[in-house]
A and B are shown apart, each in its own frame.
Chain A
Amino acid sequence: KAGVTQTPRYLIKTRGQQVTLSCSPISGHRSVSWYQQTPGQGLQFLFEYFSETQRNKGNFPGRFSGRQFSNSRSEMNVSTLELGDSALYLCASSLWGAGTEAFFGQGTRLTVV
């Protein structure tokens, strides 16, 4: 069974631009969560989508947003990029929800210059 697929794997953007990241979860999984990983802050929860609805949100500014489609694929958008947004963004797929057993994609490495 196919795993979690994140695209693209690498991105370089300029400050002020916006970016969209994509995640395809494991077939049958309705929950998709997004995490930001940085050397200084570690892994931090961004938000969770379940059946096209945002269920939970972490402590990130409104520049970070997301959505989920009817096929459970999810996108995450970051507007007005800042240098501090440089990070590895990880998508997690789970059957029952964000606090349960989760399967992660390989991540998208975003570099803001």
Chain B
Amino acid sequence: AQSVTQLDSHVSVSEGTPVLLRCNYSSSYSPSLFWYVQHPNKGLQLLLKYTSAATLVKGINGFEAEFKKSETSFHLTKPSAHMSDAAEYFCVVSDGEYGNKLVFGAGTILRVKS
């Protein structure tokens, strides 16, 4: 079965500094990978997706992620953090060759200090 591991449960950065949220995945197939963000008491918003096209994926709000098959990683980055980026971020893999469901990582809470 497919799985994802988010390597940090909490990340704290200062406003204006880079953000790195780490994710490793396990998949028997060529995976579809996603990053979602959840602000407090809100639903999940899709940040970006990888579906076997370009390995560097650009998303909304200045976020991007790079798919590295050799490292089975899909880390999320942003050059400069903004206070509004404070939220919980989920790395997600599609389960199975035919994508029967989404499998979520445990989440990383991003704190942005002023």
Q: Footprint of B on A, CB under 8 Å?
A: 4, 6, 33, 35, 42-45, 48, 55-56, 58, 90, 92, 96-107, 109
- CB of B73 closer than 8 Å to a CB of A: no
Main secondary structure of the interface of A (DSSP, over half): strand
Apart from A42-B105, A58-B101, A97-B100, what 20 extra A-B contacts exist at CB < 8 Å? A33-B101, A42-B106, A43-B90, A48-B101, A92-B102, A96-B99, A98-B99, A98-B100, A99-B32, A99-B94, A99-B99, A99-B100, A100-B32, A101-B34, A102-B46, A104-B44, A105-B43, A107-B42, A107-B43, A109-B41
* Chain B residues with CB under 8 A of A56: 100-101
Closest chain A residue to B95, Cβ basis: A99
* Chain B residues with CB under 8 A of A96: 99
